Every structure is written in structure tokens, then in C-alpha cells.
Chain A
Amino acid sequence: MPQTTQLFGYGQLGFGIAAAIIKILVFVVLFAMGLASLLTWLERRQSAMMQDRLGPNRANLGRWRAWGLLHFVADALKMMFKEDFIPPKANRFLFTLAPILALAPPLIVLAIIPFGAPLCWGHMREAVPLGTCAQPVDLQIARLDVGVLFYFAFASLSIYGATLAGWASYNKWALMGGMRAASQMISYEVTMGMAVLAMFVCYGTLEPGAMVAQQGPAPWQWGILRGIPHFIAFFLFFAASFAETKRTPFDIPEGESEIVGYFVEYSGLRFGMFYLGEFLEVIGSSALMVTIFLGGWQIWGASVLPNWAHVLLSMLVWGAKVFLFCGLQLLVRWTLPRFRADQLMRLGWQRLLPISIANVVLAACWQMWIH
């Protein structure tokens, strides 16, 4: 028994591993995967509402129908039992690798997102003001010094998913989709990084947990309202991250009505991985925007409650913000038409990039005036 406490006591290796596994189960498996599958249904339902159709409303468990909510279960079952077809001339190794590379990075980047107030180990039934706990357990899978750079590093790897899928399928339409995806995602990554640079100047840190701690629960304490450059940075980041998820109006790699896109040869569960990966990217970028610009999990006055209630409420507030943001992204997707390829490149390199570089300079000047 003394060995067990030595290994699993607060601050020991076993405790860290157990806490990390629980956090991954709750956040990635339950919240992110659950919300992503829910969004697949929500998107079809919402587009139906916007276009005066009914949409998927039939899936049910006997009499329990719930607006067809169970369609995502039916879709998942259908994908699992569909024929898994690999074109005879395709490169089998890369064809198999591509969906994995499309799904894994959006899951990995969730590691740095703080999704709730820190839990106070051993004092969970008492009210603990923020920052005074002796044994805090951060509700963040990895608290890294490099923080948001970790997000960019792994998000940049998801380009391989689309590009390799296009190349390995041995199909001209897929190849065109893959090329478009590569050029688009490389272009907008630069703007994304530059936009968030303005916020690094403001916070003086790259670590998302520390960024949330510097913001407050009220909207005027959020990062987005720190000043003019930070307000601009939010919209630049939103536009660029939208382009990174390859959704309409930035969906020329997919281009449903012209080339069908880089995953045209994929079927069954492999297609499902691309589909789920896209929604996970939506959740990941929403979560990052909520963390950097919109106050993260901060909730007003809840630190007088017992610690467990505070943590629970902060997770709910955070989840609601992320959910609303995902809803906004769905709304934009069904409102705007698709860009042309040259318009997309012009917007990225000649509009957004110069603005974002100027914005970094403006943010630096702003910071110097304040101090």
C-alpha cells in the first residue's frame, strides 16, 4: 500500500497518468467526438431548415424520435457496413494512410485546450478562490510552454490527409482536389499565425491556460475587446481558420458540384474519417477561438460555490460557447457561395496577409502606448 500512495499520490507519475487518461476520456472521447457526430446531424437539419425542407427526421428508437437525433448513429452504422473499396490502381499504402492523417491531427490539437476551471484536489467540497489552491488539477490535457504553437504544428500536419488522398486515389478529380487543398491550407496558415501573433503580444505568453487566466468572465474583460488590433485579429483568425477547415465558402478542394474533391474515391468508414475530421477541425478552431478571444471557461461569481460545482459550471459555460461557435460556422457554411480559386488566393495573400502583418505592428504599438 505505501507503494501505491507513492505512485498515485498527488504530483506523482501514476497520478499524472491517471488524470491525463480521465481528461482524454471526458474531453476528447465524450465531448469532442460526441459533439462532432452531433454536428453531422445538426448541419443537415439546419440546412434543411434554412432551405425550407424537412431534413433527416426519421431515425428513431421505437416511439422516441427526438427530431431524428439518432441519424448520426444510423449514419455511423451504415458507414461501418458499407463496402470498403480501394481503386485497383490506387497506391494502397498512401490510400490507407490519408484518412488517418486527416483524423488524427484535429484530435491531437485538443490536448492544449483548457476546458474548465482547475480542480482543487482534496478540497473539492469547499469554496476555493481561483489561484489559491495548493494542489490544483488543470482541466487541460497538456499544459505546454509552447502552447498555441503546438496547435499550429499539428494542425499543419492535417494538410497531408487531403493531399495524399488526392494523390493516392489515381483519379484526376481527386488529384485536383488534393492540389487545391495543399495550396489553400498553406496560404491561410500564414494568416492564422500572424493573426494570433497580435494576441501573443497582448498576453505575453503562448500558453492557453495562462491566456484564460488573464481574461475575465464579463465580455469587456475578454481578449477580443482588449483593443482595436485584437478585435481585428479575431476576425482575421476566424476567416483563416474557416479556410483551414475547407468548408464553404472555402470549399474549393471539395467543390461538391464540380470535382467532388480529394475524397471522391473513398467509401465507407474511410470516408467517414474525413467527414468526422472536418467537424473535429470545426470544434478545435472554435475551442481555440473561445480560449484566446472569448474568455474561455471564465464564469462570474462561481468561486463562492463548492469547488466541484464551480468546475462543473465553468465546463458548461465553456461548452456552450464552443457549441454556439460551431453553430455559427454551420450558419456561414449554408449562407455564402463558394469562392473561385483565384479569388481565394487573392483574398489570402493580397488582403488577409498584409492586413494581419500590419495588425501585428499595430498590436505592438498599442502595447507600448498602454505601458
Chain B
Amino acid sequence: MNLAAHSASMAETIVFAILSAGVLVGGLLTVTRRNPVSAVMCLVLTFAALAGLFATLSAHFLAVLQILVYAGAVMVLFIFVVMMVNREESTPIARQGLVTRAAGVLAAGYVFYRVAWLVSHERTLPLLAASATPPVKDFGTVSAVGALLFADFLFPFEAISLLLLLAVVGGVMLTRHVREDHSSRVS
């Protein structure tokens, strides 16, 4: 291995360590913060670091969409709602009974068990072994993702967009109803 390739692989390892630390620390802080706005900002950190991990896997389009949609749009709406509700920091959002805690620990333990099993059997799984080969040249580019969405997976793509449209129209209908009531009461 020559010097340039060696330093490139080392840089990759360092970047991976920083980004995965960001994902883990951000996730941990999200569930431990008492202040909801701080928790949301820690989730933003997780999403940003996750986008960085996507970028190192040469999925640039996915990385940018992760930031654009989740960190930039969805989480801003979260902040907006938290600010509107404006809960006191002392009142916790989650219920704190013994049963709830036990269920939470059990669910987290089950997820951890499944992921750990997946990682430890990584070499033997045919699907993951196949994906370990280096990606094709235009993997993750905008045109490659676009071709997948509009040619190979057109039906699910359009079905999801129809579903989202229904959700939007439903949301508008719900709020409109309330507003008409309000205006008729005022006048």
C-alpha cells in the first residue's frame, strides 16, 4: 500500500469514528435531556452525523436528503410544535411507572439483541456479503437514484406520494373545520 492510499484509508477511519460517535452521543442525549428543545437539537446532531456516514458510503444524494428533509424540515417542525406547547422542564413527557420502564428496557434489549445478531452473523449472511463488494461507478448519484425511482420502483414511489397527498389534504381539512367554527363564533 503506498503512502497516499494509506493516509486516505486512515482518514476514512478517523472520519467514521467521529461520525459514529456523533450518532451515538446524539441519540443518547436525545433520550436523557429533560428540556424538549435540547432533546430535539441532539436528534438533529444524530441526523447530521448519519448524513455524514451516508456520504462516506458514497450515497451523496441520500446524505443531502437526510439533512434537507429530516434535519432541515421535519426537526424544525418538531421545534415549532415544542415551542408552541411550551412545557415546563420539570414536567416529564413520558409516564414513569414501573411497568412502562420495564417495557422500555425490554424493547430496547430486544432491538439490541437483533442488531447484535445481525452484526455477528454479517459474514455468513448472503445479502450483506454481496453488498460488501465495491459499488458501481455512478452508485448514489442523483441520476442513478432518479432512474431507480422513476423506472424500477415507479409504482411504490407514486403510491407513497399519493398517500402523502392524502395526509396533507386530511390535515388541511381538520384545521379548516376548526377555523370556520371559530370565525362563525366571532361574527
> Which residues from chain A sit less than 8 Å from chain B, CB to CB?
3, 6-7, 12-14, 91, 93-94, 97, 144-146, 149-150, 152-154, 156-157, 159-160, 163-164, 166-168, 175, 178-179, 182-183, 186, 189, 206
Chain B: interface secondary structure? helix
Contact between chains at A179 and B80 (CB < 8 Å): yes
A145 CB contact (under 8 Å) in B2, B3, B80, B142: B142
Contact between chains at B37 and A91 (CB < 8 Å): yes
Contact between chains at A186 and B4 (CB < 8 Å): no
Q: Knowing A91-B37, A163-B83 are in contact, say whether A153-B72 is a contact too (CB < 8 A).
A: yes
Contact between chains at A186 and B73 (CB < 8 Å): yes
Contact between chains at B4 and A167 (CB < 8 Å): no
For residue B63, which residues in chain A have a CB less than 8 angstroms away from its CB? 146
Q: Knowing A12-B4, A13-B8, A182-B80 are in contact, say whether A164-B68 is a contact too (CB < 8 A).
A: no
Contact between chains at B60 and A160 (CB < 8 Å): no
Q: Which range holds the interface residue count of chain B?
A: 20 to 34
Q: Knowing A6-B3, A145-B60 are in contact, say whether A157-B72 is a contact too (CB < 8 A).
A: yes
B29-44 interface with A by 8 A CB criterion: 35, 37-38, 41, 44
Which residue of chain A has the shortest Cβ distance to B63 in the bound complex? A146
Contact between chains at A94 and B38 (CB < 8 Å): yes
For residue B141, which residues in chain A have a CB less than 8 angstroms away from its CB? 145
Q: Let me know if B19 is at the binding interface, CB within 8 A.
A: no
Contact between chains at B38 and A7 (CB < 8 Å): no
What are 19 A-B pairs with beta-carbon distances under 8 A? A6-B2, A7-B4, A93-B38, A94-B41, A146-B63, A146-B64, A149-B68, A153-B65, A156-B68, A160-B41, A160-B79, A163-B83, A164-B37, A164-B41, A166-B83, A167-B83, A178-B83, A182-B76, A186-B80
Q: What mask results when residues 43 to 74 of chain B are scored 1 for a CB within 8 Å of chain A, else 0?
A: 01000000000000000110111011001110
Output the least CB separation between A16 and chain B (Å).
10
Output the least CB separation between A154 and chain B (Å).
7
B38 CB contact (under 8 Å) in A13, A91, A149, A186: A91
Q: Let me know if B119 is at the binding interface, CB within 8 A.
A: no
Contact between chains at A163 and B4 (CB < 8 Å): no
Complex CA gap A160/B67 in Å reads: 13
Chain A: interface secondary structure? helix
Complex CA gap A3/B3 in Å reads: 7
Complex CA gap A13/B10 in Å reads: 12
Q: A7-B3, A149-B65, A149-B68 are in contact. List 16 more A-B contacts (CB 8 A).
A: A6-B2, A12-B4, A91-B35, A93-B38, A94-B37, A145-B61, A146-B61, A152-B68, A153-B65, A153-B68, A154-B67, A157-B67, A160-B79, A166-B83, A182-B80, A186-B80
Complex CA gap A190/B41 in Å reads: 23
Complex CA gap A183/B76 in Å reads: 9
For residue B83, which residues in chain A have a CB less than 8 angstroms away from its CB? 163, 166-167, 175, 178-179, 182
Q: Let me know if B77 is at the binding interface, CB within 8 A.
A: yes
Complex CA gap A154/B67 in Å reads: 7
For residue A91, which residues in chain B have a CB less than 8 angstroms away from its CB? 35, 37-38
A160 CB contact (under 8 Å) in B44, B77, B84: B44
Q: Let me know if B13 is at the binding interface, CB within 8 A.
A: no
For residue A6, which residues in chain B have a CB less than 8 angstroms away from its CB? 2-4
Contact between chains at A156 and B142 (CB < 8 Å): no
Contact between chains at B77 and A146 (CB < 8 Å): no
A13 CB contact (under 8 Å) in B7, B37, B76, B142: B7
Complex CA gap A6/B4 in Å reads: 7
Output the least CB separation between A5 and chain B (Å).
11
Output the least CB separation between B30 and chain A (Å).
14
Contact between chains at A183 and B80 (CB < 8 Å): yes
Contact between chains at B79 and A182 (CB < 8 Å): yes
Q: Knowing A160-B76, A167-B37, A179-B80 are in contact, say whether A153-B8 is a contact too (CB < 8 A).
A: no
For residue A159, which residues in chain B have a CB less than 8 angstroms away from its CB? 72, 76
Output the least CB separation between A253 and chain B (Å).
13
Complex CA gap A3/B4 in Å reads: 9
Complex CA gap A138/B121 in Å reads: 45
Contact between chains at B76 and A146 (CB < 8 Å): no
Which residue of chain A has the shortest Cβ distance to B141 in the bound complex? A145
Complex CA gap A93/B84 in Å reads: 20
For residue A163, which residues in chain B have a CB less than 8 angstroms away from its CB? 76, 79-80, 83
Q: What mask results when residues 117 to 156 of chain B are scored 1 for a CB within 8 Å of chain A, else 0?
A: 0000000000000000000000001100000000000000
